[in-house]
Amino acid sequence: MRSWIEDFLIYLSSERGLARATIESYESDLTDFSKKVALETVSFQCIVKYFQALKQEGLKESSINRKIVAIKVFYKFLKREGYIQANPTYGLELKKIYIKPPRTVSTKDLDQFFQVILREGPKGLRDYALFLTIYASGLRVSEACDLEIHHLKEGALLVKGKGSKERVVPIADMAIKAIDDYLLTRDDEEKYIFLNDQGKKITRFFIYNKIKEYLKKAKLSEEISPHTLRHAFATHLLDGRADLRLIQELLGHSSIKTTDRYTHVAKEKLIQAFDQFHPKP
């Protein structure tokens, strides 16, 4: 029933505060599901057959898992709200998939990358500060784009991550200095830290194009990406024997299996671990 899906989407937005893109993903998965089954009378066996058909069609198991999560959360909501008496997804499990280890970058290549960024003029100072901040604080591309000047306070960044969740991330002194040097070249009133050549908020495409430009200058592999810098942040912290839970907190990582066990670490402990273990490029 379409009204059930609409009520569920309202719940995701108003009560759980999920990002629009996440809600749209739920809507797409549930709409596709509702076209193949009757939502109010579907059985566990019917749901299993639905996913077997998707697998036979060649859908990736990671995509199947996403749909399983959407349907399980949907029916859990329906049962809690009294729309249904029994949850037909009870016992439905996620598919086991092989997760390829993330690519990272060596400290040698990292040094080579930063060396080709000329630290002079508004553009050079901006680019150096941008990529140093992504690496030094383990930011996602979208998080770097959304950074506002007032988010930088007392040696830390207030980062808005996936699902509009906020976290405090320490930032290295050299990254703070790089940002300050860049901001001194500006005389605008824009609230965002990083602006493009037209004085507007940077985009994902801007960052990807810039990193390609510097990789070419540094004669490094094009497999290195902004996300690789984020993984390098975590890998280099692990190499320095930082606690895995601290790194998880710094990255803003959470998953279905670990959400309930997620360990919150005090800001002071995060900063202490960051200062102790983070390598300086």
Q: pLDDT per residue over 48-104, tens digit each?
A: 999 999 989 998 888 888 999 999 999 999 999 999 999 999 988 876 655 555 566
262 included as an active-site residue: yes
Catalytic residue among 79, 119, 227, 245: 227
Dihedral sign, Cα of residue 125, residue 169, residue 249, residue 239:
positive
Give the span between the Cα atoms of 171 and 183, in whole angstroms. Answer: 16
Interatomic CA distance for residues 119 and 107, integer angstroms:
19
Q: How confident is the model at residue 253 (pLDDT cuts 50, 70, 90)?
A: very low
| Residue of 210, 230, 231, 278 marked active site | 230
CA distance 95 to 81: 28
Which member of 72, 140, 167, 231 is catalytic?
140
Distance CA 114, CA 237 (A): 19
Please check whether the domain covering 107-277 is classified as CATH 1.10.443.10.
yes
Q: Provide the edge-to-edge strand list for the sheet that holds 152-153.
A: 152-153, 156-160, 166-170
* The pLDDT value given to residue 126: 97
* Catalytic (active site) residue 119: no
Residues 125/181, Cβ–Cβ less than 8 Å: yes
* Active site (annotated) includes residue 280: no
Catalytic residue among 162, 186, 201, 267: 162
Catalytic (active site) residue 186: no
Angle at 157 between CA 271 and CA 253, to 5 degrees: 75
| 174: pLDDT strictly greater than 90 | no
Give the E-state strand segments of the chain in sequence order. Answer: 152-153, 156-160, 166-170
- pLDDT bin (cut points 50, 70, 90) of residue 34 is very high
Q: How far apart are CA 44 and CA 87, in angstroms?
A: 9
Q: How far apart are CA 38 and CA 43, in angstroms?
A: 9
Look up 253 and say whether it is catalytic: yes
Per-residue confidence (pLDDT) for residue 129, from 0 to 100 = 95
Domain ranges of the chain: 2-80, 107-277
Amino acid (1-letter code) at residue 66: R
> CA 56, 57, 63, 64 torsion: positive or negative?
negative
Cα separation, 17 vs 10, in Å, equals 10
Q: 175-184 burial by CB neighbour count: b if 16+ within 10 A, else e?
A: bbebbeebbe
Architecture of domain 2-80: Orthogonal Bundle (1.10)
Confidence of residue 267 (pLDDT cuts 50, 70, 90): very low
Q: Two tokens at 44? A: 């566990």
Per-residue pLDDT tens digits for 107-118: 788 889 889 999
Give catalytic status of residue 269 as yes or no. no
Rounded Cα distance between 192 and 142, Å, is 13
Long-range contacts, stretch 39-47, CB < 8 angstroms, 24+ apart: 39/1, 39/4, 39/5, 40/1, 40/4, 40/84, 42/88, 43/88, 44/88, 44/89, 44/90, 44/91, 44/92, 46/88, 47/71, 47/88, 47/89, 47/92
